Structure 1
Amino acid sequence: MILEGWGRYPRLVSEVFDCRTPADAAEAVARRHGVIARGNGRSYGDAALGDVATLICRGIGRMKRFDPETRLLTVEAGVMLSDILDAFIPRGYFPPVVPGTKFVTVGGMIASDVHGKNHHRDGGFGAHVASFKLILQDGEVLNCSRNENADLFFATIGGMGLTGVITEASFHMKPIETGWIHQETVVAEDLREALAALQAADESSYSVAWIDCLARGASLGRSLIFVGEHAKREQVVAHKAERETFPSPKKPRLSLPMDLPAWALNRTSVSAFNAAYFRAGVRKAGAPSLVHWNPYFFPLDGIHQWNRLYGRSGFLQHQCVVPDTNALPVLSEILERFAGSGKGSFLAVLKKLGPGTGLLSFPMPGYTLALDLPVTEDVFPLLEEIDKVIVDAGGRLYLAKDARQSRQTFEASYPQLAAFRDIRRATGGDARFASRLATRLGI
Structure 2
Amino acid sequence: MDPRALAAATPADRNRVVDFLRAAAILTVVLGHWLMAAVMVQDGRLVPNAVLNIAPWSHPLTWVFQVMPLFFIVGGYANGLSWRSARRRGDGYAGWLRSRLQRLAAPVLPLLVVWLAIASIAYAAGVPGATLRTASQVALVPTWFLAAYIVVVAVAPLLLALWERVGWWSVAAGLAVGGLVDWWSIAGDNHWVGFANYLVVWATVHQLGFAWLDGALASRGRRVALAAAGVVGLVALVSAGPYPVSMIGVDGAVLNNSYPTRVTLAFLGLAQAGVVLLAERRLATLLERPRIWAVAVVINLRIMSLYLWHLTAMVLVIGMSLLAGGLGLRAAPLTGSWWATRPVWFAVLASVTGGLVLVFGRFETPIRDRRPAPAVWRPAVATAAVCGGLGVMAASGIVSREGVHWIWPLLPVAAVVGLGVVPLPHRRTEQ
TM-score above 0.5 = no
Structure holding more helix per residue: 2
TM-score (norm 1): 0.23
Structure holding more strand per residue: 1
